[in-house]
Structure 1
Amino acid sequence: MADLRTFADEAIGALRAHDEIHAGDMCETLEAFLALGNGAEAARRLYIHDNTMKHRMARMSELLGVDLREPRTRLTLALALEVRKFV
């Protein structure tokens, strides 16, 4: 379990910390984006404007230091989001 916690912390820890500090919903936004694979559709499902989604995506990339267009990155983040539900 400790290894899974470490994996999740390394992958999305900065995003989780940002959410806690700012009472934000970046993890929820990332989860919607990864589930749908489309920023515009995720924005509609989250009831936010497309520009808000674009801003959040850019901020998430910055916070995590990743390129969200990279398939392996998206897989890693999706796994980390699932792991955080169980550890």
Structure 2
Amino acid sequence: MSDWRFATPVRLTFGPSQQRTITNAWEAVELLLRDWPGRRDHRYKVALLACQDALEGFRSGRLARKALVRAAKMAGFGVSST
């Protein structure tokens, strides 16, 4: 079984009233593909690939989470652990 769950959820803040908590690579992929409010730059693409790889068992949830956090920070979103 693949390790696609995040040990610590990530709370992203997109604006004054928009927050989203991501607990696993599946939720991260959904956010990245459907609801990402930022630019789809290099960090975005790295995060998407890392999360998809985690779902397939090629990467750990820890690495996927790390890539998502980096992409969110580069996009200027608020990032915190819950």
Same fold (TM over 0.5): no
Larger proportion of strand: 2
Q: TM-score range by the shorter chain?
A: 0.3 to 0.5
**Quick check: which has more Rg, 1 or 2?**
1
Query: Quick check: which one's helix share is greater?
Result: 1
Q: TM-score, normalised by structure 1?
A: 0.32
